[in-house]
Structure formats: C-alpha cells, structure tokens
Chain A
Amino acid sequence: QKEVEQDPGPLSVPEGAIVSLNCTYSNSAFQYFMWYRQYSRKGPELLMYTYSSGNKEDGRFTAQVDKSSKYISLFIRDSQPSDSATYLCAIPSASSYGKLTFGQGTILTVHP
C-alpha cells in the first residue's frame, strides 16, 4: 500500500464549479498536510498546508483534514480556467520535515 494515494483523474469541470480533490494516507503519525499546484512544465507551488485535523480557508481554496479516516481534501470554489493544473497532495515525514511524500497528482481542467 502506498503511503499517500491520490486519484489521478483527469477531472474536467465548467467554470464556476466547485472542485473536490482528495487523498488518503496510511501513516497515522503524519501531522502536516500540504497541497501543491503544478502548472505544465513548472515546479510545484505551495498552495496551502494544515496541521492536524480541521479546515483551513484561503480565498477560494479550503483544505480539510480528517485524521480519523486518514483523508485529506482540497476544495476550490468558483473555479476559473486559470485553476487548470495538476494538484498534488504532499505529507512531510513524521521524523523529518524535509522529506515530502506526494500523491500521484490530479489533473484538473476548468473549461470556460
């Protein structure tokens, strides 16, 4: 079983839709949870990170962590064509912040 699993999609939605991106993980010791956005031919860009369970909101983006079911989500409200990218969940090692374990990435396309 992979430490972090993510549905690769692809996901195609109309502009203005609410998007839900999800990952599951296996190690209950994980404490931090991160979402990166990666445009084609670019490096990943840190979108949001959360500590432990609960929600965190930043503009149109909401990150949610449910540690009881080892499930993390990223919601995008009022999606825009500029949101079209690959979204990667990433979890730092419980023993070393530097080592990130990534999901496979979900390819999102928002069409006008």
Chain B
Amino acid sequence: DAGVTQSPTHLIKTRGQQVTLRCSPKSGHDTVSWYQQALGQGPQFIFQYYEEEERQRGNFPDRFSGHQFPNYSSELNVNALLLGDSALYLCASSAGTAEAFFGQGTRLTVV
C-alpha cells in the first residue's frame, strides 16, 4: 500500500501565477482533505472532497479551489498567488472515520 502520495514535492512560483497540486489517496479511501501548514504552525483546513463534490470548506478565499476525480484522486488549485501562500500543502485521506492519513506534502514557495 503506497499510502497517500502527493506531487510535486517542491515547487517555486512567482506572485500572480497559478499552481496545481495533486494527491492520490490511500487505497480504499474515498475522502480527500487539503490543509495548509505555515512554518511553525499547525495545519489549517482548506476543504474536503467526497464523491467528487466539495463537502466542507475552511476559511480560505475563492482563489483556492479543488477537484476530485472518479478514482478519488484530487487536485488543489491556487490562483493569483501571493507571497503569503508560501507553505507546506498537505493532503489527507480517510474512509468515513475520524482517522485521517497524510501525504508527505508539497512545499510551495512564492517569490
């Protein structure tokens, strides 16, 4: 079992650009959640996808959007990047329980 996999591992983008991050959930998991973790902080919930629909959303602007595919994999898109979007972006998968398993994250640097 490969667990939760995310790509790419690192990314450098320029202010104003757009970025797409990808996540494959753990085998058997149908729910994907995305988190943003700033340096020295705990992860902050962005949104959750289940059955290809956004089920719940945290306090993030509309520049953050996502998608879930029929195979349960997911993408996180961020438009009009700001310097403050620099962070570790984490994907977590679950299967109808409280247990959530995280990927290794994508480190995004906006310059």
Interface residues of A (CB under 8 A from B): 4, 6, 8, 32, 34, 36, 41-46, 49, 88, 90, 92-93, 96-105
Specify which chain A residues have a CB less than 8 angstroms from the CB of B101 in the assembled complex: 46
Our pick among B56, B58, B99, B103 for the contact of A43 (Cβ within 8 Å) is B103
Look across to chain B and name the residue whose beta carbon is closest to the beta carbon of A105. B42
Q: Are A98 and B42 in contact (CB under 8 A)?
A: no
B contacts with A, residue count (CB < 8 A): 30
Q: Are A97 and B42 in contact (CB under 8 A)?
A: no
Q: Are B105 and A100 in contact (CB under 8 A)?
A: no
Q: Are B100 and A46 in contact (CB under 8 A)?
A: yes
Q: Are B102 and A43 in contact (CB under 8 A)?
A: yes
* Residue B68 at the chain A interface, CB threshold 8 Å: no
Q: Are A99 and B45 in contact (CB under 8 A)?
A: yes
B74 to chain A: closest CB distance in Å? 12
Q: Are B98 and A32 in contact (CB under 8 A)?
A: yes
B6 to chain A: closest CB distance in Å? 8
